Structure formats: structure tokens, C-alpha cells
């Protein structure tokens, strides 16, 4: 079980108020997701700390930007995210530490967690539900397996779809491994006295999506479809003026 002091040392930019409010829910979600060893915990905290900006952002900031406008019907991106009603883009923007996005993803995660996130999407940004969303995604992608092998690049690929921000993620990870080893990390036991001490998250029938994969695909498609900028013709060099020599 992660302690407040361990979390402070791993994520030093996280303030005391937020640590106290988030830690019980973070520990509960890790227990539900069987993120219960030193290596798994270090990898999980490192990825969430990066994704949420040191646990500051549990909800996507809204402009809307040009990219966010494409979340709205009737764009191809909106259709792939399941956004069908006017305002769905803003309503189902990224929430939770891993920023699930789109009506369809809110519905899928909500059904598995027993939460009506379609009717109340802001629940996904609360620590009670947000960390469970992250643990459920982790479980659905079997990220404990590369975490056990200390294959942090593969952990990152399964979270991010690539290796964006790998240096920052790795910095959190190395610090987490060191802090947890130095302070004697002890996982909460699965059973006590022959009885199960915690319930486990359900295993989804197929890996879950965050929505960011679809957004990244749309951004690449938009960039590819954009007309190439015409190169400006090179300016003709102005011939240098000849300077007459003075004769004495």
C-alpha cells in the first residue's frame, strides 16, 4: 500500500491537499486492479503522474481548440468517438488521470464500473472513479505483464500507443522504484484469514480504448489531407552596383 510520504517523494509537485484527498482512492484502485507489487506500483504511478501533469489535471482543458472542435458531430472523429449529440465533444472531453474521451468510451467504462458516466461524465474526473478508470484500462491491456518484466518501454506503448513523453515517464519510474525499495513497500494482501480482502475489477472482453488513439489518428489524417504549402519563388539576386575607382 502506497503511503503519503512515498507519494510525496515520487511526485514532488503534487501538493499536500491533493495527496491526502487522492491517496485512499489511488490505493483502492490499485488493489482492485491487482497493481500490487513494487514494480507494478512504480510503473502505474509513473504513467499516471505523466498523463495527469503530476495529478493536477483530471479533466481536459477546453478552448475549444481547432482539434477539439473536431470532437463535435458530424465529423469523422466524432463518429468514431460515438459523439452523436450537439455538445458531446465538450461533454465527453478527456477525464480521469488517463483522459478517456468520447461518449462511447464513457459508456463502456461506466458499464464495467457500475457508474452512469454518460449521464454524469464529471464523475470520471473524481478520484473515486478516475483512478478506477485508470486501473481498469491497465487491466484490460494486461500492462502488469510488461511491468513485472520491468519493460517500461512496452508499458508506455500500451498506455500511449507510442513513446510520447518517455523521458518524463522514465524519470517518474526510476524515482518510484528507488523510493519504494528504500522505504520497504508492502502490498495489501489479497486474502486475510482465508477471506478475500478486496474485490477485483472485471476483465473486459476486449482491450479498452482511451479515445486518444482515435484523436491521434484524426490529427494525422487531417495533416495528410491538408494541401501542401507552395514554396515561395526565390528572390532574384540584385546585381551589385559597380563603384567607380577614384583616379588621382
- pLDDT by position in tens, the chain (length 248): 899 999 999 999 999 999 999 999 999 999 999 999 999 999 999 999 999 999 999 999 999 999 999 999 999 999 999 999 999 999 999 999 999 999 999 999 999 999 999 999 999 999 999 999 999 999 999 999 999 999 999 999 999 999 999 999 999 999 999 999 999 998 766 655 666 666 899 999 899 999 988 888 788 887 787 776 666 666 666 665 554 444 44
Cα 9 to Cα 181: distance, rounded to the nearest angstrom: 12
Residue with grid cell 461506466, as numbered in its chain: 110
Nearest alpha carbon to residue 77 among 185, 217, 207: 217
Listed in sequence order, the DSSP H helices in 116-211 are 127-140, 144-148, 152-160, 166-182
Cα 140 to its chain centre, rounded Å, is 15
Residue 96 is predicted with a pLDDT of 98
β partners of residue 214? none
81: Cα within 13 Å, side-chain hemisphere:
36
CB atoms within 10 A of CB 93: 22
CB atoms within 10 A of CB 150: 13
Let me know: does 39 contact 150? Beta carbons within 8 Å: yes
**Grid coordinates given for 83:** 459523439
Sign of the C-alpha dihedral, residues 67, 73, 77, 83? positive
State the burial class of residue 226 (Cβ atoms within 10 Å of its Cβ: 0-12, 13-18, 19+): exposed
pTM above 0.75, yes or no: yes
Which helix (H) or strand (E) segment holds residue 27: the answer is helix 16-32
Amino acid at each position: 500500500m502506497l503511503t503519503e510520504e512515498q507519494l510525496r517523494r515520487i511526485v514532488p509537485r503534487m501538493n499536500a491537499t491533493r495527496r491526502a484527498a487522492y491517496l485512499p482512492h489511488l490505493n483502492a484502485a490499485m488493489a482492485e486492479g491487482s497493481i500490487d507489487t513494487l514494480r507494478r506500483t512504480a510503473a502505474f504511478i509513473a504513467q499516471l503522474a505523466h498523463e495527469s501533469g503530476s495529478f493536477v489535471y483530471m479533466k481536459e482543458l477546453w478552448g475549444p481548440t481547432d482539434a477539439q472542435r473536431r470532437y463535435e458531430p458530424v465529423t469523422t472523429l466524432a463518429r468514431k468517438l460515438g459523439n452523436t449529440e450537439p455538445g458531446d465533444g465538450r461533454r465527453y472531453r478527456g477525464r480521469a488521470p488517463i483522459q478517456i474521451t468520447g461518449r462511447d468510451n464513457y459508456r463502456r467504462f461506466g458499464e464495467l464500473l457500475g457508474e452512469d458516466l454518460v449521464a454524469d461524465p464529471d464523475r470520471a474526473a473524481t478520484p473515486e472513479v478516475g483512478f478506477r478508470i485508470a486501473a481498469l484500462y491497465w487491466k484490460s491491456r494486461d500492462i502488469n505483464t510488461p511491468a513485472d518484466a520491468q519493460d517500461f518501454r512496452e508499458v508506455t506503448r500500451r498506455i500511449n500507443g507510442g513513446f510520447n513523453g518517455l523521458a518524463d515517464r522514465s524519470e517518474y519510474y526510476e524515482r518510484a522504484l528507488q523510493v519504494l525499495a528504500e522505504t520497504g513497500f508492502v502490498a495489501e494482501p489479497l486474502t486475510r484469514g482465508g477471506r478475500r480482502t478486496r474485490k477485483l475489477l472485471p476483465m473486459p472482453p476486449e482491450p479498452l480504448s482511451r479515445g486518444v488513439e482515435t484523436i491521434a489518428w484524426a490529427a494525422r489524417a487531417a495533416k495528410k489531407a491538408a494541401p501542401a504549402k507552395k514554396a515561395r519563388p526565390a528572390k532574384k539576386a540584385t546585381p551589385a552596383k559597380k563603384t567607380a575607382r577614384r583616379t588621382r
